[in-house]
Structure 1
């Protein structure tokens, strides 16, 4: 798939103002109308249809958010670092939490008081991909290699470090090369500019769509068992705006269930809500087939593993956060990380989870299966 082009729309213009802190009056206006607008740091850079697990519920036909007094606005970010800075500055209300990036930042700066409140990606959606004829057969073979990543601020770098550290290997001889998305990334792999790429599953699928043949290399065993996506908020917001956060994440939970049960409908709802993201230069049927391919693995990663002892949507455990700390300490070469962070229970909370899950999940699934836009 060709890289989607960001178009400057009235919605995007508003988001740009929000990112600069110039739209402070907008939430107040929304609040006066009975809707609390919750701004999210969006590191996907565009309103990509793969975000239908969140956006489907914004459509009036589902109305998972506004009916509960909240709505979501996307503020585009270039990297996780920028997202953390925006959360600290109060320009956004919530954003992605990648432990390998978040934990060292919180240890270095205790004033970065963020708490992960919802696990949106409970399965590991990271992948290692190589050319079919590559000699790389395991994660251990990444040591000393040229690793392709989407950008120098991408999570692929820290993920590689974590996996090598799990194996007792160093990444000091690795070279991390930014190769972008889609066709440029595919060309870099085809032309041997990199030996492998470490990225999210959706990024690898986009490379396959442009014709590049890939072979998937297994993740390291311990890392493979961890979730790969949380959403965090400033601790003060958790204290001051609990009701709005429950409504927000319940809307996400409902949208996720709906999208998993009827992906075609979720894509239609995303396009209807964000018309600027509709396909350009090809039919919607073609675009839908591409999106179905891109989300072939991701749609399952939205859902908890069947053997997960806690089936509540969004729930975390202290055991996985201890594992995140341990792996991040190894990859960041900071043996004092655990003591610097203190009690791991402060990094996440399940205090909203029961309220978030207080809805009829089977009713949402039935709605999705019967839905026609």
Structure 2
């Protein structure tokens, strides 16, 4: 079983050192703020390419190191302090924070989750039928720093409703969250699709309530970096994001292989207490929707991996202003073009996409 420390020796044995930096110290390790708090196999859209058999990062002089975070707030603080190089950007949290703190100068450089992966789940017999019914209810979230709070506020604001009478209750993940729903400690849960799927796996029956139409049209995950890093380490960022784009396409095309590669790179994330086949079935269920959310919608006019648009960032500002009840947010943020950048995207996509798909389809570890 390969571990992270095997890479230096393994690359030479596999004949994959061509194009590698001449000296090990030239390798730029890009630290990512990981708010999942674990090296979960759903991260294979990044991690698959770290395996020597794919080798999507190191020949270009970069690699990824995960730094676990408890919340988006902690991730933003770590980016501001320079403890990590890149992290997830959730506009509903990031934009108000940037408006309050001008020193938090972040720019979103890659949209890793172009479809909306947020869900509302309730018990099958719940009277909640639409997002509007969340007003005044007890809303389950993973933690008090979780994006579920902002997502709920955003959807209610879209409907002209307030969340001032909502109670947000941290119920965690998996079995604890399922117990909270089963025992009526909460009326609904707002979370990412993967979190809801994990609850279903522990035996809790759920009914999915549609998210609001306007919110449903925006993506739900970007990668942001300090503006200084974008200016000073452009080449490394292109290499990093190209590796992510290739890993994403590979894992979408062959999810089983993506999971195998993640487990090989991060053996501590392998299942414990159950067979690998059982774990794989669980992961296939958890990621049944997520793997498609990694990819752009077929009707998206811009099919480049990672690309953003000014229109969606204006929509993000508008929704954040509504959810925070701050009508001056757009004014405080200034030019919306400064919030995102597509300047790396053409270079990031400068690879043979079909070749990656074919590699994935025929891949054997």
C-alpha deviation, 1:216, in angstroms:
0.2
Q: Give the secondary structure class of the aligned counterpart of 1:329.
A: helix
Residue 164 (1) aligns with residue 160 (2)? no
Q: Quote the residue 1:95 is aligned against.
A: 87
Deviations along 1:72-106, one digit per CA (max 9) or x if unpaired, are 00000000011001001111000000000000000
Q: Does 1:247 align with 2:242?
A: no
Gap change, CA 1:32 and 1:269, over 3 Å in 2: closer
Q: Deviations over 1:160-202 (max 9, x none)?
A: 0000000000000000000000000000000000000000000
In the other structure, the counterpart of 2:346 is: 354
- Unmatched 5+ stretches in structure 1: 1-8, 12-28
What is the alpha-carbon distance in structure 1 between the residues aligned to residue 142 and residue 103 of structure 2? 29
| Residue 279 of structure 2: aligned partner | 287
**How far, CA to CA, are the matches of 1:57 and 1:284 in structure 2?**
21
Structure 2: where are the runs of 5+ without partners? 6-20
Structure 1 equivalent of residue 171 of structure 2: 179
Q: In structure 2, what is the equivalent of residue 340 of structure 1?
A: 332
Q: Is the CA contact 1:130–1:189 (under 8 Å) kept in the aligned structure 2?
A: yes
Rounded to whole Å, the distance in 2 between the matches of 1:110 and 1:358 is: 34
Name the structure 2 match of 1:127: 119
Q: CA deviation at 1:32?
A: 4.8
4+ residue segments displaced more than 2 Å: 29-34
SS at the partner of 2:321?
A: helix
TM-score, normalised on structure 2? 0.94
Map Cα deviations across residues 281-329 of structure 1 (whole Å, 9 max, x no partner): 0010000000000000000000000000000000000000000000100
1:35 Cα deviation after fit: 1.2
Give the aligned CA root-mean-square deviation in angstroms.
Answer: 1.4
**Structure 1 partner of 2:184:** 192
Tell me, yes or no, if structure 1 residue 209 matches structure 2 residue 201. yes
**Are the equivalent residues in 1 in contact too, given 2:4–2:266 (CA < 8 A)?**
no
Tell me, yes or no, if structure 1 residue 141 matches structure 2 residue 123.
no
Aligned to 1:33, what secondary structure does the other structure show? helix
User: How much does 1:68 deviate?
Assistant: 1.0
Per the normalisation by structure 1, the TM-score is 0.92
State the aligned residue count. Answer: 348
Per-residue CA deviation, residues 111-154 of structure 1 (Å, 9 max, x unaligned), is 11000000000000000000000000000000000000000000
Q: Distance in 2 between matches of 1:339 and 1:88?
A: 22
1:210-229 to structure 2, matched below 5 A, reads: 210-229=202-221
Matched, 1:273 2:261: no
Alpha-carbon offset, residue 31 of structure 1: 7.5
2:75 corresponds in structure 1 to: 83
